[in-house]
């Protein structure tokens, strides 16, 4: 009986793989052009209408926005809604993929819950990293203003991850990656990342409270 249980466990995919497979069809690459500088960020399809949730600072430069869906579909996009006080933005794509797969949203677990960040760090598209929820209810001063009630986590994130999902082990989105903390003021990961809880973001795309 014990051997059979161990065999079944060995045949199950790793939690991170399952989480990644759940979110992969919903992932979006966001490219911006404007002000003489190109930008790269992450996002994900957040509802059945194909609206894309991302971080406001990814798209606040005022230039053109291109989105690339997981199936390779490319489209121009516009900002449908902004919540600068939460560093959130909702995008509407002119062209949607043939199959629209929205992410599943969920509330964050307690401190110590395993979480996974999926995004496009340093241009390395559709990358997965894993860690734990380190703290809840954090406040952070950013160039765009003070953000409150954030999830602190230690899954690796870098420029290009902003706007991407923070997942639980079931592949449900619990937060939107917004920032990292680095005492040297460099924009690279040293073990502390922050995400806006999806409970704050879900209302922007018509999701029920979590």
Active site residues: 57, 87, 162
Q: Which residues contact 81 (CB under 8 A, 6 or more apart)?
A: 89, 90, 204
Q: Dihedral (C-alpha) 121, 124, 125, 130: value to the nearest 10 degrees?
A: -60
Report the phi/psi class of residue 5: left, alpha or beta, with left for phi > 0 and alpha for psi in -120 to 50.
alpha
Backbone angles phi and psi of 81, in degrees to 5: -160, 150
The H or E element containing residue 117 is: strand 114-119
List residues bridging with 33 in a β-sheet: 38, 64
* DSSP sequence for 42-74: EEEE-STT--EEEEHHHHTT-SEEEEEETTS-E
Do 54 and 205 form a contact (C-beta atoms < 8 A)? Answer: no
């Amino acid at each position: 009986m014990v051997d059979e249980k161990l065999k079944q466990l060995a045949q199950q995919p790793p939690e991170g793989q399952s989480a990644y497979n759940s979110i992969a069809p919903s992932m979006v690459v966001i490219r911006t052009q404007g002000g003489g500088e190109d930008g790269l960020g992450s996002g994900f399809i957040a509802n059945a209408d194909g609206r894309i949730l991302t971080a406001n600072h990814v798209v606040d430069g005022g230039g053109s926005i291109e989105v690339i869906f997981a199936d390779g579909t490319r489209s121009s996009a516009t900002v449908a809604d902004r919540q600068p006080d939460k560093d959130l933005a909702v995008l509407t794509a002119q062209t949607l993929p043939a199959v629209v797969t929205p992410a599943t949203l969920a509330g964050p677990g307690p401190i110590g819950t395993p979480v996974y960040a999926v995004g496009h760090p340093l241009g390395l598209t559709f990358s997965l990293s894993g860690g734990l929820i380190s703290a809840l209810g954090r406040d952070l001063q950013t160039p765009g203003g003070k953000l409150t009630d954030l999830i602190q986590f230690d899954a690796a994130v870098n420029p290009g991850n902003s706007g991407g999902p923070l997942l639980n082990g079931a592949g449900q989105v619990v937060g939107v990656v917004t920032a990292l903390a680095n005492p040297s003021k460099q924009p690279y990961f040293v073990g502390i990342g922050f995400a806006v809880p999806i409970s704050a973001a879900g209302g922007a795309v018509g999701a029920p409270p979590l």
